[in-house]
Amino acid sequence: MATKESIARKLVSAITRGKAPAKKQAKARADQATPLLKARRAGKEATPAMLQKAAKDNLFLHFTRHSPYQKSDIPIITKAEGHHFWDINGKKYFDGISSLFAVNVGHGRERLAEAAAKQMKKLDYFPIWSHTHAPAIELAERILSYAPKNLSRVFFTTGGGEANETAWKLAKQYFKMNGKPMKHKVLTRAVAYHGTSHGALSLTGIPSMKKMFEPLVPSTFRVPNTNWYRAQDDFKNEEEFAMWAADRVEEMILFEDPDTVAAFFIEPVQNSGGCFTSPPSYFKRVREICDKYDVLLVADETIDGFGRIGTMFASERYGLEPDMLVCAKGITSAYQPLGALMLTEKLFEPFKHGTNIFAHGYTFAAHPVACAVALENLDIFDEEDLVGNVARNEAAFKKTLEKLKDLPIVGDVRGAGYFYAIELVRDKDTRETFNDKESEKLLRQFLSHDLYDNGLYCRSDDRGDPVVQLAPPLTIGQKEFDELEQTLRNSLSKAGKMFELM
């Protein structure tokens, strides 16, 4: 029988024997360390070659075709300031879409970095699950002060897709708690984008983005968007078209049965497809329809919010009073990840009583650092009157871009505020678009590369008809408008010659 002493000796022996393999493993790991890791451990700066190899070996980039990077370098961005950024080779670019429709105050704002550092030193992190903190409290009150006056509560997320997911879940639970358990279906518009998670992707109206992930969440239905450029031949004017499009919402509600439809999600200016706008009468009619059938109206202002359209929220510009409003991106100007869902008191009311709970949330939602940055970001908005800058310069921006309509390849220039799309066509008179093969050649094989090579970062997109989209920082003016127009003219002229349009 083993004694306590013999057991102790065996334990010491086992621990001692284990030291040698551990040391060998550590040495082996050090010997096998990549040049990038060795440079970091030595306190040296990584070379472009080190970063390029590590990027190709390790990264899985978002929404990216990786095959070209088997032969060419991945663009590596190293710094940014104002409305420009620089790559690892020192080349300067105009950030024509605010990186991802998000850096509204421009890059390099030191005071936002200082706000983040100050908050980290005071309270680095705490969740808002049954607790809260001052930055979240202050930010909720602040964004509600800009929002449509019928909104009174804020549910924080870390992005717009999560906020759309939250809105759908809340709508379903709200109706269940109010004796209408069958109201669970949602309507969205054709070609609209609302996020990538299974729920938000189900809301999205772009078939090509969804087919690889189906089956998705059921019970989502599409109604027409407000693409006036493609509808002009069938209606007397845009108002008539807008009423037709709005009435299709009522038609879908009736077709699916009003007792089963919970919500209608809508971007005031629809991003995907190319900056589709609508007259205020459209939103008034949609609001009337939703009220008639007890359907919640959700404004997705992930892009449209925080000055992009010339008012703090686009809902204000178009006279829309939604039941819920989704926002993100510009809330921190992308200096920190943050999103929010604002909602009416009616939707919060059931949760004031008894044991009711909304069993939903995110680890990093309302992160105190993100909220502190958002508050400082909104101070910049107010102090520099960035929303006013957009409102004052919108007409000049549109007029400058409309100069491009003298090019045969430019069919339409549309949008609002600092958010515009240039639709590209094969024939201006008939509005004939490019087929899939031509669109591939035009956008991916030529235009996106040529614009970037000429120092302009913007979006070339064919989720609808081919467009080039612009959403620059809200700080720019006529000098920058002219620079954008000249760069676009150069590339679009070459694109037209490719298809013998010039």
Domains and CATH numbers, the chain: 92-106+385-498 (3.90.1150.10), 110-384 (3.40.640.10)
Q: What is the pTM of this model?
A: 0.93
DSSP sequence for 417-472 = TTEEEEEE-SBTTTTB---HHHHIIIIIIIIHHHHHHTTEE-EEE-SSS-EEEE--
Query: Residue 107: which residues within 8 A CB-CB, separation 6 or more?
Result: 80, 81, 82, 83, 84, 85, 95, 473
CA gap 423, 403 in Å, rounded: 14
Task: Supply the pLDDT for residue 326.
Answer: 98
Lookup: tokens for 78: 């190293």
Mean pLDDT of 186-198: 97
Taking only the tens place, the pLDDT of each residue in 449-478 is 999 999 999 999 888 899 999 999 999 999
Q: d(Cα 79, Cα 76) in Å, to the nearest integer?
A: 10
CA angle, residues 266, 184, 316, in degrees to nearest 5: 25
What is the C-alpha separation between 413 and 427, in angstroms, rounded? 15
- Residue 419 pLDDT more than 70? yes
d(CA 56, CA 192): 32
391, pLDDT greater than 70 = yes
Instruction: Report whether 502 contacts 496 (CB < 8 A).
Output: yes
- As a whole number of angstroms, the distance between CA 401 and CA 294 comes to 41
d(CA 102, CA 451): 20
**Predicted confidence (pLDDT) per residue in 19-66, tens digit:** 556 666 655 565 677 888 888 888 889 999 999 999 999 999 999 999
Q: Count Cβ atoms below 10 Å from residue 377 Cβ, excluding itself.
A: 25
Q: How far apart (Å, rounded) are the C-alpha atoms in residues 500 and 10?
A: 85
**What is the Cα–Cα distance from 323 to 341, expressed in whole angstroms?**
10
With contact defined as beta carbons under 8 Å apart, do 311 and 391 qualify? yes
List, for residues 333-368, the tens digit of each pLDDT value. Answer: 999 999 999 999 999 999 999 999 999 999 999 999
